[in-house]
Amino acid sequence: MEYPAGGFPRQRSLVERMIGAAMLDVSVYEEVEHDLTATSQAAIVVGIVAVCGAIGSWGHGGKGIIGAVIAAFLSWLIMSALTYFIGTKLFAGRADMGEMLRTLGFAQAPGVIAIVGFVPFLGRLVVFAVAIWQLVTAVVAIRQALDFDTGKAIATALISWIVVWAVIAAIGVFILGSALAIGALAG
């Protein structure tokens, strides 16, 4: 954190925080972790990234902007809750739900680059690279929020992602099974 004349820290702007989070600046994650007013900024980051991703998926069968924003907010809330639960209960990390929301929200900052996803060939490569970048920023966010080592942060992230994908797969199987059952009864 920067200290101007007078010795009091200067709060970074939303854009400065997004850039710092994307560049893995640990001080930004610490700043947003402890800034109780940064939850709304984290939500803004999630929304901006969702819109950029929706624009970038144009022509690739995306959800549209409204669907992307709804999905982004739901996944942010679910991942934050899961990460909080796993990190505090399984690995004895110390955080609250607000800290998880703030740090994981800002960890999505590299996603603004996904706006170029609609560019043939190059766009898909950029979106893939951004996804990897976001995994790394999420690990840093988890490590800083839960105040433990990188190994535990990686384990927390992996377990959370596995649980989310298992739930998504189970929902998909349920929906497919229901559709097949309805089709069999109707046919």
Quick one: three-class SS letters along 132-148? HHHHHHHHHHHHHHHCC
pLDDT at 50: 94
pLDDT digits (tens, 9 = 90+) for 94-138: 999 999 999 999 999 999 999 998 888 888 899 999 999 999 999
The model carries a pTM of: 0.84
Percent of the chain scoring above 90 in pLDDT: 66
75 vs 62 pLDDT, higher one: 75
> What's the mean pLDDT in 157-177?
85
Cα-Cα-Cα-Cα dihedral sign, residues 152, 30, 136, 101 = positive
Residue 9 belongs to some domain of the structure:
no
What is the span of the domain harbouring residue 168? 14-186
Q: How many domains, in total, are found in the chain?
A: 1
How is residue 10 annotated by DSSP?
P
Residue 1 belongs to some domain of the structure:
no
Using the predicted structure, report yes or no on whether residue 4 has a pLDDT greater than 60.
no
pLDDT digits (tens, 9 = 90+) for 81-99: 999 999 999 999 999 999 9
Residue 161 belongs to some domain of the structure:
yes
Which is nearest to 146 in space by CA: 165, 127, 159, 128?
159
Residue 3 belongs to some domain of the structure:
no
